Structure 1
Amino acid sequence: MTVLLNRRRMLGAIAAATAGACAAPLTSALAAPAKGLEILGAPNGSTIVLLRLLQSGALNASAPDATFRLWRDTDELRAAIVSGRTSLFTTPTHVPANLANRGLPLKLFAILSMGHLFVISSDTSITSFKDLAGKELVGFFKNDMPDLVFRSIARGYGMDPDKDMTITYVRTPMEAAQMLAAGRATTAILSEPPATAAIMMARKEGRTLNRAISLQDDWKKQHGGLGLPMAGIAVHERLIEESPELLKAMAAGLPGARDWVLSDPAAAGQLGEEKMDMKAPILASALSHFNVVAEPAAKLKPGLVAFYETLLSFQPEALAGKLPPDSFYLDF
């Protein structure tokens, strides 16, 4: 029988978490295994940390029949959340903030990646952001998060990306990666693992591409050392209410899952190929550039707020026009 956590106690636990305190321990009498849980994963490399956690058996007791599948767009994700099919998913960090601001009871549980955006180029004269002045670049997802991060950094250096350089946009990062590899473009803004894919594909064709600029490094320089918390794990409020033991198991297991991914990238790459339709050698090589972490959202709240404020300044609808409430950021 499912025993629901008293709502007043649950809200008190969240309030304590966002204040920086640890939530009160939950007794086994209050917890119930999450039956039939479908975990959704964003198709990016940091999802491999949660996949490893699931594969390791660390969630067997608290989610005994959990399954995993990828989600491809926010409409698919929203449908799964509203229907109750999922209450746990990996995600770019702005997505659950947007959905929470639109009324879905979502919380950000953990951060898995502190940025994986790069400028990749065959032009050896490009070694810093200001070297992009007068250059032609390929970008992707115009006016979405990767593009807005790039534009924010340009503004921080006193540059206008619409005037000081020429950006041609394509639909996906892999399309940009293929253009670079084929020599149909010289420079592109890319996420991982497409950045690594471009470098590896070009090498097979006898071309050399360089990881010219780390956008997360420039972001940190412009934000007082705060990192770029790009990807994480979000949960539905009902999971906090119904299965607090699952959240405790994730909190306990995530650091070990992260360490396994970083210490054995070949095995992590194979797991990604089996479960995420990624090429194992590409993912294995890309992992060192993902800035993989396993940190509570509340711990990284200052960086998240700086990130969200930047998105709001360029594209308010990316977050439904406001910052998420303090209760959005969970601790463990």
Structure 2
Amino acid sequence: MKLLRILSGILIAAIVFLPAGCSKEEPAAKLAEIKIVGTIGPMVIPLARMAETNALDSVAEKTSLTLWANPAQLQATIAGSQGDFVSLPVNSAATFYNKGIQLKLLDCSIWNILYLLSTDPDITSMEDLRGKRVVVPFQGTSPDVVFRFNLEQSGVDPETDVDIFYAPDPVQATQLFLSGQDDYVLLSEPSATTVMKKAAASGKTVYRNLNMNEVWKEVTGGASQIAQAGTIALGAVSENTAVMDAFLEEYEKAVQWMLDNPEEAGEVGARALVEQGFTADVLAESMAYIDWRFTPADEAYDDIAGFLTALMEASPDFTGGKMPDNAFYYGK
């Protein structure tokens, strides 16, 4: 019996003093690949930085980047779950969510990117656009929605007071403007900066007349601002807290790196957008005209909800027929 008690004591001691690592759970296996889908524009820069540096190597073996170029491609990407993280307009994210797509809004990081450019120095308000023809790319998308809202809230009927000509994409909108066929155009960055630089090179004077976010804040009395664009987690990844947290941490770092290193960031963007012809100098210069503010979705809730509510009042179609519930916002 005495021997048995001694042996039992030794066994218990051995168990108590096992190395701590032996009692820990095995870490979650890495994903084989995380697919990031960016849009053609400045939002691709921090995403491209993450892909180039394999910033998500703590949760995935590989990070890849592809682009969507138009609303049809975005629709196909979302409906087919062709990516894990997708950058897109915030109201588009709400629309997809309200249609039953499994996703989480992670952040809003772009708060202004949209400008009215013209050859007319006297355009200082939306009211000054009465009787004008304005070229707008991508009918029914976020820039169109914001522009029409600002017109309506300024007492200008977009159906009767302004002749809106819808170009199929920003490239054709730019061509119409630079050729002199049209004198007023609504453009996002970096297309707006591209136009300004090309016009200056040809001796043409172009004015950056109206900042759409400033107009928005004015017509809403400061009640909200344009929650322009952010990132969603799509499909199964939207249930993986560890991966979403890793993405947010690295994305915030990439945005800050971009702001601290605009010239290098321009080069990263130019590599990602080589087929679209955006140059590093244009991308770097355009950053001065973009209101970049990385804000997690739960922290941006009031501004996003205010933005979506304003759009809902203009037309429920702009948010998929209703306001998204709190489950739309990661962390809420």
TM-score by length of 1: 0.84
Q: Is the 8 A contact 1:46 1:290 kept in 2?
A: no
Map of 1:177-192 to 2, 5 A cutoff?
177-192=174-189
Q: Secondary structure in 2 aligned to 1:250? A: helix
RMSD: 2.3
Q: Relative contact order: is structure 1 or structure 2 higher (C-alpha 8 Å, sep ≥ 6)? A: 1
1:133-158 Cα deviation digits (max 9, x unpaired): 33332222233321121111112222
Map of 1:1-332 to 2, 5 A cutoff?
29=26, 31-81=28-78, 83-223=80-220, 224=222, 226-242=224-240, 244-277=241-274, 278-331=278-331
Instruction: Report percent identity of matched pairs.
Output: 28
Moved more, 215-224 or 248-257: 248-257
Q: Is the 8 A contact 1:178 1:198 kept in 2?
A: no
Q: Is the 8 A contact 2:224 2:307 kept in 1?
A: no
How far apart in 2 are the matches of 1:121 and 1:96?
31
Q: Is the 8 A contact 1:33 1:245 kept in 2?
A: no
Q: Is the 8 A contact 2:223 2:306 kept in 1?
A: no
Moved more, 72-81 or 129-138: 72-81
How far apart in 2 are the matches of 1:50 and 1:111?
14
1:145-197 Cα deviation digits (max 9, x unpaired): 21121111112222212333332222122222222222222111111111111
Deviation at 1:58, TM superposition (A): 2.9
How far apart in 1 are the matches of 2:26 and 2:111?
37
Deviation at 1:307, TM superposition (A): 2.3
Q: Which amino acid aligns with 2:122?
A: S
How far apart in 1 are the matches of 2:169 and 2:151?
21
Q: Secondary structure in 1 aligned to 2:60? A: coil
Of the two, which has the highest radius of gyration?
A: 2
Q: Which amino acid aligns with 1:211?
A: R
1:211-264 Cα deviation digits (max 9, x unpaired): 11001111122332532111111002521434x332222232333222221222
Q: Is the 8 A contact 1:173 1:194 kept in 2?
A: yes
How far apart in 2 are the matches of 1:303 and 1:258?
20
* Residues 79 and 139 (structure 1), Cα distance of their counterparts in 2 relative to 1, 3 Å cut: closer
Unaligned 5+ residue runs, structure 1?
1-26
* Residues 172 and 262 (structure 1), Cα distance of their counterparts in 2 relative to 1, 3 Å cut: same
Deviation at 1:86, TM superposition (A): 1.9
Q: Secondary structure in 2 aligned to 1:67? A: strand
Q: Secondary structure in 2 aligned to 1:114? A: strand
* Residues 240 and 138 (structure 1), Cα distance of their counterparts in 2 relative to 1, 3 Å cut: closer
Deviation at 1:94, TM superposition (A): 2.0
Number of residues of Structure 1 aligned to a counterpart in Structure 2: 305
Q: Secondary structure in 2 aligned to 1:53? A: helix
Q: Secondary structure in 2 aligned to 1:44? A: coil
Deviation at 1:99, TM superposition (A): 1.6
Q: Is the 8 A contact 1:46 1:292 kept in 2?
A: no
Moved more, 120-129 or 167-176: 167-176
Q: Which amino acid aligns with 1:288?
A: A
